[in-house]
Structure 1
Amino acid sequence: MASTATLTPQDQAAAPGPRPPAKRLSVTALVPAHNEEEGLGDTLESLLHQTDPFDEIIVVDDCSTDRTGDVARSYGVTVVRPERNRGSKAKAQNYGLPHVRTDLVLPVDADTLLAPDYVELVKAPFQEENVAIAAGCVQTRFDDTATERGRCIEYLFGFHFQRPIQNAANSPVVCSGCCSAFRTDELRRFGGFPERTIVEDMDYTWSKQIEGRRAVYVGDAVAWAADPSDLTYLRKQVWRWMAGFFQNVRIHSKDMAFHKPLLLLWILIACWDIVTAPLWYFMPFFLIFVLHQDVGTTMMWWLGFEMVLMWLPLIYAIRRRHLSWLRILRNFPFVYMNKAVNVFYAWKALLVELIGVPLKLTQGLVTYEKGRA
């Protein structure tokens, strides 16, 4: 006759059983807006139609001179307005932060649309206590102009090649500021959205990982951002992004080396790409006109390598997002115009922020300019 085993209280506690239900985390959308009456309505529509609804939506009308505040109030959301223009997105968000009463805060740019399941998906990683920040996959809303078409390809490449690899290594380089979610209390203890650099999203992403906290990329959560529609605004945006990148390199590199070396590895790879990019694009001309190599053979090998590098991630992105092949083929040539702008301002930022600032030759970039009219 079989004996009956008696479980001790310790055994009972360790025995497998149904998992406790996930804790519901409340979340507030925080929308900084300066003269955004034209596109704000579409953004608010996307925020109001989430499968997991926001508990509150707060628009920071940063002293707009148009009808931004009226548009926001017409949607029944909370509107707060500082006594003077705050001068940057981070400062506008920090003005709105004391009004947030939820577990999470999700800043959304006033020209960005969230997919209906965005909140549901981006909240999931926060069930893990060590996650401090999470963000989804950003794609372009429009591809009508040359700069928008180039950015479409840049985003598809970055968010379907670089970002997943970084996330798999637990070292995302940035959680995009247009649609990242944060733990509210932790953000407040940090002092709010960082204002010491011109790109608060990268600053906070690096700072938290250096502290031992996690940043998470949620590839299934999709947001669509409005990008610069001409070269004037592309130049402003890229200069801000590149200057901010090297500001963060200057501030965080030493701490990363000791506390987050894998993140530092990605940063060093990015710096190497910046330094060597002019050499890569100049190489065919050097081989042809200096070393007198065969034009056809040289261009075949150079273009072949370039196409393989670019198109493998793009093919994956097209299939995953169910995109039109014709659309991507049409947009592809314009990525090289954007790359030229990126290289120019990356080198400018390297010289200004990593050399000029330490030598006290310049104060670096401190004025925030939007990359869009």
Structure 2
Amino acid sequence: MHTITVIVPAHNEEEGLPATLESLARQTVRPDRVLVVDDASTDRTGEVASSHGVTVLRPPHNLGSKAKAQNYALPRCSTDLVLAVDADTVLAPDYIETVLPAFDDPEVSVAAGTVRTRHTRTLWERGRSTEYLFGFHWHRPIQARANSPMVCSGCCSVFRRDDLMAFGGFPERTIVEDMDYTWSQQIAGRRAVYVSDAVALAADPEDLTYLRKQVWRWMAGFCQNVRLHLGRLVVRKPLLAVWVLLALLEILTAPLWWATPFVLAATVHEPLALAFAWWAGAELLLTIPPLLYAAHRRKLPVLGVLANIPCVYATKAVNLVYAWKALIVELLLVPLRLSRGLTVYEKGRADTVPTRTALAGG
């Protein structure tokens, strides 16, 4: 029988936190303890957490990062498993029950489920919803079958506490602790597991301001981990290295793919409209089948899922800009000592006070 403690790092999260804590209270397998780290909030985060009957930890000063807040709570965990949940993420009622069996395998160090968007109100949320449905029903199952998942999502990952403590806690050396830990454990010969039946709903960017800051963090963090781990991945976890290299190749070739209709029109003298139609057809051929499977798998309305496809190109454009920026900054300028890279993350949600989160340079 596994025991589990939940850690919820929270800074100015009074609006999103109640839904998160209520979802934990509704779990079919209840956690043994819930720890909310009120990291120097200036709103009612601490009061909201206390009203839900959980343990609230208040560091003496702002710790400056999600990983540091999680590490502040880690010594208070005495259970064999630790579940890290973001303060704006809602877990399905059977999330814990569904993930726990993965840890019957003593080789499993970290596991996480499927992430979906909580809301699809704006262009950006609809685009992110499509990205999640595609990624978690195409890329992630393939990686899981190869025993090489790219990342166990930090908003809803379960960790084996002994492994986490032996590693030194949640890694603070990069801007994305979830990918850092997932890669590190696989390099060390431990297993990371994707549990597709466990579902978490994340609050994703509702406006461009928040989206661009979040994507910059993700892309910079990915490149920081490439710089830190790629050599050892090639030697110790080659299949994971393949996924990483394919992701880099996709970033490098994306501008060429987006330019394809114009190149065809200019070189083979096809009408631009026809060239674009061929390009769009190829895109839809690659995109629609996984989305249809995702709609069936998650019992979502097919027309609603397909209607969001145009929105994904707006988020893809933002992804591409910041992916290239990350390549240049993290993989070129940082090694040349011309930049420190991204060491500060400004949360940027429209409905909260902007939060500057300092991280140790990686």
- TM-score range (shorter-chain normalised) is over 0.9
1:324 aligns with 2:296: no
Partner of 1:158: 135
1:68 aligns with 2:49: no
1:131 aligns with 2:116: no
TM-score between both structures, scaled by the size of structure 1: 0.92
> Which of 307, 324, 332 matches 1:347?
324
What percent of counterpart residues are identical? Answer: 63
Alignment of 1:133-212 (within 5 A): 133-212=110-189
Task: State the Cα distance separating 1:301 from its structure 2 match.
Answer: 2.1
Task: State the Cα distance separating 1:289 from its structure 2 match.
Answer: 3.3
> Which of 112, 122, 133 matches 2:89?
112
CA distance in 2, matches of 1:371, 1:25: 37
1:234 aligns with 2:211: yes
Alignment of 1:1-373 (within 5 A): 24-370=1-347, 372-373=349-350
CA distance in 1, matches of 2:120, 2:275: 32
CA distance in 2, matches of 1:300, 1:42: 44
Secondary structure of 1:126's match? helix
**Deviations 1:137-194 (Å, cap 9, x if unpaired)?**
0000001111101000000000000000000000000000000000112101101100
Q: 1:248 to 1:101 in 2, by over 3 A?
A: same
In structure 1, stretches of 5+ residues that fail to align are 1-23
AA paired with 1:196? R
**Deviations 1:284-340 (Å, cap 9, x if unpaired)?**
011113442233442232111100111110000001111012322332211000000
**Deviations 1:254-286 (Å, cap 9, x if unpaired)?**
111110011000000000000000100011011
Q: What value does the CA root-mean-square deviation take over the aligned residues?
A: 1.0
Secondary structure of 1:368's match? strand
Q: 1:371 to 1:259 in 2, by over 3 A?
A: farther
Contact 1:118 1:223 in 2 (8 A): yes
CA distance in 1, matches of 2:79, 2:56: 17
CA distance in 1, matches of 2:307, 2:281: 19
CA distance in 2, matches of 1:220, 1:369: 32
Q: If you compute each CA radius of gyration, which structure gives the higher value, 1 or 2?
A: 1
CA distance in 1, matches of 2:72, 2:19: 23
AA paired with 1:282? A
Contact 1:228 1:371 in 2 (8 A): no
AA paired with 2:280? L
CA distance in 1, matches of 2:349, 2:197: 27
Deviates more, 1:287-296 or 1:334-343: 287-296
CA distance in 1, matches of 2:237, 2:345: 29
Partner of 2:357: none
Contact 1:46 1:114 in 2 (8 A): yes
Moved over 6 A (4+): none
CA distance in 1, matches of 2:266, 2:236: 47
Secondary structure of 2:241's match? helix
**Deviations 1:170-221 (Å, cap 9, x if unpaired)?**
0000000000000112101101100000000000000000001000000000
Q: 1:245 to 1:371 in 2, by over 3 A?
A: farther
